[in-house]
Amino acid sequence: MPSKDSPRRVYQVSELTRWIKAVLSEKVGAVWIEGECSNTKDHSSGHLYFTLKDATGQIRAVMFRDDRVNLAFPVKDGMKLRVYGPVTIYAPSSNYQVIVQRIEDAGTGSLQEAFEKLKAKLKAEGLFEASAKKPLPLLPRRIGIVTSPTGAAIHDMLQVLKRRYPNLHVLIAPVPVQGEGAATRIANAVDHFSQTRSVDVIIVGRGGGSLEDLQAFNEEVLARALAACELPVISGVGHEVDFTICDFVADLRAATPSAAAELVIRPKAEFEDRIDGQRRRLVRALDTRRLELKNRFVSASRSYVFREPHNLLLRYRQQVDGLRGQLRQALRGSSGAEREHLKRLHLRLGHEATGRLREVQHRLDDAQSGLLREAERCVKERRQRVEQFEKQLRALNPYQVLERGFSITHAADGSVVKQAADVSKGDRLRTRLGRGEIDSIAE
């Protein structure tokens, strides 16, 4: 390298890069390097890209497809590797890197080793047991999300929730998702939701990254907070191939943050279809029961119980008339004793006929009262079930909240006004209240 006293020579960036590359090739050449693997990327071209690091430094590495065919094991984040190859400069970005020609497994990296130790410890304590998992609510009224407010993950989750269930209540706990103190901040947010019971279910998540990027979700302080949380928690950390301690302790693991939003709530249309189906089945059941009772009543009215009293009365009247005739004939030609005997028979016959008629009348009254009570009970039971379903339908009505004093303001195009910045002077507005609407013009 020329000294400062030499005649001034101004290098182009590409010239300087080529000069440094030549120096590295001449002075350093091919060397063995040992470090922990991270940021592994398996390119579609067949090349393998990763980073080697230790406690204070890191270097990029690439293993081209021709050298990779001799690799005897898959390279993953967290592995401790020993690689051989020349150190050079990647000209487009002026970053120095090692072109890996050989790779040896040097053991487990420090982060991966810590991950495995903590995983084994918590598993032994029973924090991963299926029996400890809490079920998710069928229809959560409020959902808490613990994540970074500026990352892509929160936008993805909100888009999914908006698509599946519009106007769903969501509370966001903004926290850092990587770096020093991130795990404690995330744990504190989970504790807050658990203690205040301000939500029904919690999503803890972030987008993908290296093992170092996801380290906050592999720390014991967060694992303990999730285990102690009294609310169900969904873990949506990283990509589908990423696994963290948070995934094992949470009540449910989602492959991505978007998948967590898919799991936490079913589509609103599905709930509406189920309610409509229940309503139709209830109406059919009530109609069927009403017809059954009607048929029973008609059948009973035509049965022997209802016809018999009249038939019995006619038959007994005929018997009485016949006996009276016989009695008159007998009295004309009988003695006084016989007349007395016949009188007693006449009185006895009258008492028996009257008692039998009363018995039949009581049976008829009891049967009619029983039918009426059964019909009233069935109608009352079905009316109560209909009222219960009506209450559930009113509770799910998104406009029910307006009855408590809230309102919704719409712009002229029908869209909902969410902030003052969306309104300009002179815009026509319509505010929907619990009862009625108000048209206004913004001043």
DSSP string, 239-287: -TT---HHHHHSSEE-SSHHHHHHHH---HHHHHHHHHHHHHHHHHHHH
CA distance 180 to 177: 10
Taking CA atoms, 11 is separated from 3, 5, 126, in Å, by 14, 16, 64
122-160 tens-digit pLDDT: 999 998 998 889 999 988 999 999 999 988 899 999 999
Q: Would you say the CATH fold of 113-266 matches that of 13-108? A: no
Indicate the SS3 state at residue 73.
Answer: coil
Q: Are 204 and 246 in contact (CB under 8 A)?
A: yes
Task: Find, among 144, 231, 217, 212, the residue nearest to 187 by Cα.
Answer: 217
One-letter amino acid of 402:
L
Report whether pLDDT(221) > 90: yes
d(CA 152, CA 30): 40
Distance separating alpha carbons of residues 91 and 60, to the nearest angstrom:
13
Q: Which residues contact 70 (CB under 8 A, 6 or more apart)?
A: 102
pLDDT in tens, 363-420: 777 777 777 787 778 878 888 887 787 777 666 666 666 666 677 888 888 788 888 8
pLDDT over threshold 80, residue 304: no
> How would residue 24 be classed by pLDDT, with cut points 50, 70 and 90?
confident
Single-letter amino acid code for the residue at 262: E
Q: Which architecture, in CATH terms, is 113-266?
A: 3-Layer(aba) Sandwich (3.40)
Show me where the domains of the chain are located.
13-108, 113-266, 271-396, 402-441
List alpha helices for 165-212, DSSP H.
182-196
Q: What are the CA-CA distances from residue 45 to residues 42, 93, 97, 184, 298 (Å)? A: 8, 20, 19, 40, 83
pLDDT at 1 > cutoff 60:
no
Helix, strand, coil: what percent of the chain each, to 5? 50, 20, 30
In whole angstroms, give the CA distance from residue 211 to residue 77. Answer: 6
Model pLDDT, residue 100: 92
Over residues 234-267, the pLDDT tens digits come to: 999 988 777 889 999 999 999 999 999 999 988 8
Does the structure show a pLDDT above 80 at 233? yes
Lowest mean pLDDT segment, chosen from 133-137, 173-177, 210-214? 210-214
- Helices of type H across 51-144: 65-68, 110-124
Please state which of the ranges 5-9, 151-155, 171-175 shows the lowest mean pLDDT: 5-9
Digit-coded pLDDT (tens) for 265-277:
888 888 888 888 8
SS3 of 5, please? coil
**Structure confidence at residue 250 (pLDDT):** 94
pTM over 0.75: no
Architecture of domain 13-108: Beta Barrel (2.40)
